[in-house]
Amino acid sequence: MRLPPALERRPWAPPLLAALAVTLAVTALSWLLPARFASTGVGFAFLFATYALVLRRDDAVVRRHGLSLGGLFERDARLDPLRLLRSLALACGVALLVAAVIFPPFVVGYPIYWGKIVGRALHYQGHPIALPPRFGEEVLGQVFVIALPEEAFFRGYLQTRLEGAWPSGARVLGATVGPALVVTSLVFALGHVATQPQLPRLAVFFPSLLFGVLRGATGGVGASVAFHAMCNLLTGLLAVNFGLSKG
């Protein structure tokens, strides 16, 4: 389908308009659905949008958007278990390596940051850190309901399209750090605030930058999905153990 001339002259406009439409849709779902179904509804909305924009097209387009996931989302190629396992191992290995660098200072800084936000000192509620009930289900939910849908849309679709419109930027570990990465992370952060209007939610802008670098450095969204899920799980554990959440 040929775009209107005004949009053809502004290649950044279609992906940003798509992001706006999807953000409005998931915001409505997050407010209208019962609380226990909201995350699932939002996740399906992101996946549906990614399918409509990328996954229903040919495999070359899917690979260009970093959404192959070891051939899992390719329609025409025969699924190769070894290729899938290699892709999974690379994604988890990179995510664990980054976590080993990022998580220790994050754990130290967490009570300091949130202590200033809530105006009180935060202390562990249990020692050692206690896992919440049904932690295995939480892991699956974070990977498949939250991290995978969000990374598929934001890092797979939006960041790729914006990099096509704004290809300039510094090269960091093979990733392009430029306007596309920053704008994608800004849209990501604003979307989080729209679904849950709290200013501290804007802080997801910063891990989003790292998710984007992982997508660019590895050529796919697998590592960003794994690290995104790890970040959410760690934050949830710290919130419970510092008394900011009931778990």
Cα Rg of the chain (Å, integer)? 19
Please list the pLDDT of the chain residue by residue as tens digits (247 residues): 555 665 556 888 999 999 999 999 999 999 999 988 999 999 999 999 999 999 999 999 999 999 999 999 998 878 899 999 999 999 999 999 999 999 999 988 888 877 777 777 777 665 556 676 788 889 999 999 999 999 999 999 999 999 999 998 899 888 989 999 999 999 999 999 999 888 888 999 999 999 999 999 999 999 999 999 999 999 988 887 777 776 5
Predicted local confidence at residue 119, as pLDDT: 72
User: Which pair of structure tokens corresponds to residue 86?
Assistant: 């290699």
* Cα 231 from Cα 228, distance rounded (Å): 5
* Cα 226 from Cα 224, distance rounded (Å): 5
Q: Which of 171, 162, 167, 148 is nearest to 67 (CA)?
A: 148
Predicted local confidence at residue 1, as pLDDT: 52
Predicted local confidence at residue 101, as pLDDT: 97
Q: Where are the domains of the chain?
A: 5-241
* Cα 142 from Cα 243, distance rounded (Å): 21
